[in-house]
Amino acid sequence: METNKILPTACPSCGSELRVHSLQCADCGTTVTGDYPLPVLMRLAPEKQAFVSEFVKCSGSLKEMAAQMGLSYPTVRNKLDEIIENIQKLEHNEE
C-alpha cells in the first residue's frame, strides 16, 4: 500500500528551510545534484497549497470558491489575503 508522503520544507532538527540537493529520474536513475531553493508555492503549508490549486481550478473566482467551500465570500477573501501575505514574506526572504 502506497502512502501519500508530504515533502518536508523545514528541517526537523532546527526548523531551518530545506533546499533541494538532488533529483533522480525514476525511469533511468539519472541524478542531478546541486543546491536549489524550493519554489515559493511549495513552501506554503499543504492546506494553503490546496487552496491555491482549487482557486486556479475555479478560474480565480472567489464567489465559486466560497460556494464550493461552504464559506462566506469575505472568509474566502481573507484566506486568499493570508496566502498572498505568506507568499510576499517568502519572496522577501529570498532577496
- Global pTM reads 0.78
Do the domain assignments include residue 32?
A: no
- How many domains are there within the chain? 1
For the segment 44-83, what is each residue's pLDDT rounded down to a tens digit?
Answer: 999 999 999 999 999 999 999 999 999 999 999 999 999 9
CA dihedral for 20, 24, 25, 31, sign (positive or negative): positive
Do the domain assignments include residue 33?
A: no
Do the domain assignments include residue 34?
A: no
Q: Is the pLDDT of residue 1 over 80?
A: no
Q: What is the CATH number of the domain that holds 74?
A: 1.10.10
Mean per-residue pLDDT over the chain, rounded: 92
Do the domain assignments include residue 81?
A: yes
Q: Quote the domain boundaries for residue 86.
A: 39-94
Q: Quickly state the pLDDT bin for 86 (edges 50, 70, 90).
A: very high
The pLDDT value given to residue 6: 81
Do the domain assignments include residue 56?
A: yes
CA dihedral for 46, 47, 52, 58, sign (positive or negative): positive
Do the domain assignments include residue 29?
A: no
What is the grid cell recorded at 93? 526572504
